[in-house]
Structure 1
Amino acid sequence: MDNLCCFKFRRGPSSYSSGKGKNHEGDIKFGYELVKGKANHPMEDYHVARFVERDHHELGLFAIYDGHSGDRVPSYLQKHLFDNILNESDFLVDPKRSIFNAYEKTDQAILSHEKDLGRGGSTSVTAVLMNGQRLWVANLGDSRAVVSKGGKAIQLSTDHEPSTERASIEHKGGFVSNMPGDVPRVNGQLAVSRAFGDKSLKSHLISDPAIQDTIVDTKTDLLVLASDGLWKVMDNQEAINIARRIKDPQKAAKRLIAEALKRDSKDDISCVVVRFR
């Protein structure tokens, strides 16, 4: 059984959610903030932020799930994706392969339960911190993970945009629209080129997650995960500069979202900040 440590968490969507926690030793702290955007639909952003113990290893689990065409897929991811990752038999031996396999299995489960989960989908960015020493980041879509090393912003996720993966989409029989005043979209619909779900478009998409890892060394001070509601109006270094000035990670997440709103971001905005030192 996993032991949750110092963890405050609200399940289910709401117009506003905020919380914080820390690891067992108390030297790594996290905070999160989620705010509903101006669109006339329920909140579609979900998150995970917690520490667990697994086979004598401490694992920090952090994620942002940004849904589209409904909130059922991101809600499903919040409940199941990390369990699927940790239940891979070789997770502690080969985290990269385990994360890849779990993403694939989770997507297949979502597609097979379309009757219950609907035809929508979700982007995802997940981060697994192993014993406070190594960080594994995986993503589908445009939710993003950025780490600060010596104050320099380093993006650990890959923005999956239709314009950058046009050749693959067209090779699979799809197309990328470029309507005036709009962003490029797969078949005129989806604004990202990789995501969980979206069964009607799946034959035209690549579903493989991008996976990167980094050592958490003495220069690594914090990690920011956020949905595109933040990144549409703020670049990586701006976000890191703002977050580094605030010691309390919950207040840092709150400040980042306040700045995004000030810059007129209209999307749902979710943010997790992890401070390593």
Structure 2
Amino acid sequence: MAGKEILHKMKEKVGLGSSDPDSGKGKSKMSKKITHGFHLVKGKSHHAMEDYVFSQFKQVEDNELGLFAIFDGHLSQDVPDYLRSHLFENILKEPDFWRETEKAIRKAYRITDANILEKAVDLGKGGSTAVTAILINCHKLVVANIGDSRAVICKNGVAKQLSIDHGPSMERERIEESGGFVSNFPGDVPRVDGQLAVARAFGDKSLKEHLSSEPHVTVEFIDDETEFVILASDGLWKVMSNQEAADCIKPIKDARSAAKHLTEEALNRKSTDDISCIVVRFG
């Protein structure tokens, strides 16, 4: 076997998929039916790619965790890159993770945001949205998010959103009570203090008084009706509904091919933003 093939096999084994950093796949050891794949495409903006993905299975003593996340940066590569390296680590360090998973995730989100703000000199003035999904022993799925990256589950062909899009309009009261404002000027979408088009994010030190880093957390149990889960940045959801995305990949059994197909369809629909997508298939 050639060196490149050996490297490819090693990467697949640890869940990194191919040598292409913008695409990859892996599978559960606990249930061979459960697979995951991801694909990223840079948008048409003049800045560097600001979407980052985490997608792999991890053995923790006698348990298996599927760890999946989309981090969509704004004015920053450094903050989403930091999240990719540290957010799950901080979640799993919480002593109550196994007994009170949702509480542990909320606490780890707050701690991680505080760490980012402390490192603002190094990480810059930007920030990042996040959607994370933790699959515990192939049975319990815990989804958390801040911002407008989204998680959608498909059961029996029906798409259901597991996250909440934290738009400024829906949180206007909280923003105004903290001394901020929501304005459509400049531009054509509501923005916090006329700057940021999401009401919750990591980082963004200059806006932090008016932004929240408190995640929406939900729990879903995997059953025989569960087909797949999609995590994606808003570059996908700006041009596709939840059900359209589910219908688009229903016949595609390979998770990485499904993720790639979604990004291609978003491009066909004229999405100009960075697009990142993870698909987790359940048999």
TM-score surpassing 0.5?
yes
Question: 1:155 and 1:55 mapped to 2: Cα distance?
Answer: 31
Name the structure 2 match of 1:18.
23
Partner of 2:235: 229
Tell me the equivalent position of 1:7. 15
Once the 2 structures are TM-superposed, how far is the Cα of residue 181 of structure 1 from its aligned partner? Answer: 4.8
Partner of 1:160: 166
Aligned-partner Cα distance in 2 for 1:53–1:172: 42
Distance between the aligned counterparts of 1:188 and 1:9, measured in 2? 40
Residue 105 of structure 2: aligned partner: 99
Q: Is the 8 A contact 2:186 2:194 kept in 1?
A: no
Offset at 1:9? 5.5
Partner residue in 2 for 1:182: 188
8 Å contact from structure 2 (residues 18, 25) kept in 1: no
Aligned counterparts of 1:66 and 1:33: Cα–Cα separation in 2? 14
State whether residues 78 and 124 of structure 2, in contact with CA within 8 Å, keep that contact through their aligned partners in structure 1.
Answer: yes
1:163 deviates by: 0.7
Q: For the Cα contact (< 8 Å) 2:41–2:274, is it kept in 1?
A: yes
Identical positions, percent: 56
Confirm or deny: 8 A CA contact 2:157 2:247 kept in the other structure.
yes
Matched position secondary structure for 1:40: coil
* Secondary structure of the corresponding residue to residue 34 of structure 1: strand
Residues 249/224 of structure 1: CA separation in 2 closer, same or farther (3 Å cut): same
Letter in 2 for 1:19: G
Unaligned runs of 5+ in 1: none
- Secondary structure at the counterpart of residue 165 of structure 1: helix
CA RMSD of aligned residues (A): 1.5
Structure 2 distance, partners of 1:119, 1:267, is: 20
Letter in 2 for 1:7: G
TM-score, structure 1 as length reference: 0.95
TM-score by length of 2: 0.93
The alpha-carbon distance between structure 1 residues 36 and 160, as it changes in their structure 2 partners (threshold 3 A), is same
Are the structure 2 counterparts of residues 188 and 181 from structure 1 closer, same or farther at C-alpha, using a change threshold of 3 Å? closer
Structure 1 residue 39 corresponds to structure 2 residue 45 = yes
Q: Cα offset for 1:206?
A: 2.2
Normalized per residue, the structure richer in helix is 2
Kindly provide the amino acid, as one letter, of the partner of residue 226 in structure 1: A
List, as ranges, runs of 4+ consecutive aligned residues in structure 1 with deviation greater than 4 Å: none
Q: Relative to 1, partners in 2 of residues 1:175 and 1:9: Cα closer, same or farther, differing over 3 Å? A: farther
Matches within 5 A, 1:129-208: 129-179=135-185, 181-208=187-214
* Structure 2 counterpart of 1:262, one-letter code: N
Q: Which amino acid aligns with 1:44?
A: E
8 Å Cα contact 1:33-1:254 kept in structure 2: yes
Q: Deviations over 1:147-201 (max 9, x none)?
A: 0011111100000000111011001000001137521000010000000000111
* CA distance 1:93–1:69, shift in 2 (3 Å): same
Across the two proteins, how many residue pairs are aligned to each other? 271
CA distance in 2, matches of 1:96, 1:117: 27
| Aligned residue type for 1:17 | D
CA contact (8 A) 1:243 1:249 kept: no
Q: Do the aligned partners of 2:168 and 2:197 also contact (CA within 8 Å) in 1? A: yes
Equivalents in 2 of 1:219, 1:80: separation in Å?
33
Which residue of structure 2 lines up, in the alignment, with residue 270 of structure 1? Answer: 276
